[in-house]
Amino acid sequence: MKINKIFLCVLSVGLLSFLSCEDSIEREPSPIVPPNCQNVFFPNSNTTDIELEPTELAQVIVAISREDSKTAATVPIKVFSADDVFNIPETVTFDAGEETTSFVVTFPEAEEGIKYSFEIGISGDEYFNPYINNKTSIKISVIRIKWENIGKGVMIEGLIPTFFAVPALYPFYVDIQKATLPGGITRYRLVNPFKPMESEDFDEYGIADGYPYNTPEDMLEGDFYLVINVDSKNNASILPQQIGFDWGYGYFLTGSAYMNISDDINEYPLGRYDEENDVIIFPENSLFISMSDYNNGEKYSCETPTFIYLNLEAYLNAQQNDNEEE
């Protein structure tokens, strides 16, 4: 019993001592937001991971908003970190009554193929409110895509047969470019892949030098690209994009059927990059096709596969293998 009493006395003394120490600790007061604070923040509409074509302006437009817009204001911009290529303004100005404005960050010296980033915030007690869900700062990354010409490949398309009775097995040459992007993504783009044939005949391998069924009158103005993303697991996908011609029913649009027709990846599989044979294959129901003026632009899955051989040798090897199997 004596031992227990001694233990309790020691514990009580220790607890009193601890509480006394706690009372002596000076706490830093929470930030006080002044009553005239305009609550400036970066809206969620900003894109924070930006890819630019080499021909696009080397600049980013950053939107900035405020909750109190009664008066005009010039808001200081604070730079937390930034690669040397960026030119970031020191302030941004709101007109009276203006809730959202924007400013431009330029990077004319940025090299192609390199990812750069900057992080900025809002400075000044009359503008900065630390309690508005961390929107008082923003980090933006940019990359100017570096395209490499890898030469002519061979395409066998299964898009147009979805609508029209054209043979799907005619191969034609396509000019291919390649870019390597962060995150293990390899991007290929076919440059004006559906341009008309220039020669009247197919070459010695039975390949056309353009799309056999187009004429110059079918083509839309400007350049068009068929852009294909291949991820680190060699899955291939196409974001919805025009392919550059019109057969009287509006422009053609194509892309991956998955997530554009349905989120059932078993019924609408992604394409596949066959690294060993240097070919990108979009199997049955992997892609969709639509015409803008037909059935309100309804998307139809393509029941015929599409093959994109990244070079002539890959196509010829595939033909040889098919002949040997027969």
- 140-170 in b/e burial notation, b at 16+ Cβ within 10 A? bbbbbbebeeeebbbbbbbbbbbbeeeebeb
Q: What is the mean pLDDT of residues 87-116?
A: 97
How far is the C-alpha of 257 from the C-alpha of 267, rounded, in Å?
A: 9
With a cut of 50, say whether residue 148 has pLDDT above it: yes
Query: Among candidates 224, 61, 64, which has minimal Cα distance to 136?
Result: 64
Q: What is the mean pLDDT of residues 104-120?
A: 97
pLDDT one-digit tens code per residue, 195-235: 999 998 999 999 999 999 999 999 999 999 999 999 999 99
End-to-end CA distance of the chain: give it in Å, rounded. 97
What is the DSSP code string of 164-181?
Answer: S---S---EEEEEEEEEE
CA distances from 87 to 52, 147, 319 (A): 17, 25, 54
Identify the helix (H) or strand (E) that includes residue 17: helix 2-24
pLDDT tens, position by position, 262-303: 999 999 999 999 999 999 999 999 999 999 999 999 999 999
Decide: residue 263, CB within 10 A, 0-12 exposed, 13-18 middle, 19+ buried: exposed
Tell me which amino acid residue 31 is.
P
- Residue in 249, 310, 259 with CA at minimum distance from that of residue 287: 259
Mean confidence (pLDDT) of the chain: 90
pLDDT bin (cut points 50, 70, 90) of residue 11 is very low
Task: Look at residue 3 in the predicted model and tell me its pLDDT.
Answer: 47
- The total of other beta-carbon atoms located within 10 Å of residue 205's CB is 12
Class of domain 40-144: mainly beta
3 state SS of 2: helix
Name residue, tokens 């960050």: 105
**DSSP 8-state secondary structure symbol assigned to residue 30:** P
The pair of three-digit structure tokens given for residue 134, joined into one six-digit string: 């961390």
Nearest Cα residue to 151 out of 320, 278, 240 = 278
Provide the token pair at 46.
Answer: 């900003």
What is the tens place of the pLDDT at every residue in 59-82?
A: 999 999 999 999 999 999 999 999
Q: What is the pLDDT of residues 161-179, one digit of tens each?
A: 999 988 767 899 999 999 9
Q: pLDDT class for 8, splitting at 50, 70, 90?
A: very low
pLDDT in tens, 20-51: 445 555 666 656 667 778 899 999 999 999 99
Question: What are the structural domain ranges in the chain?
Answer: 40-144, 148-325
Closest-CA residue to 72 (of 101, 93, 90): 93
Residue 232 burial by Cβ neighbours in a 10 Å radius (0-12, 13-18, 19+)? exposed
Percentage of residues in the chain having pLDDT higher than 70: 88
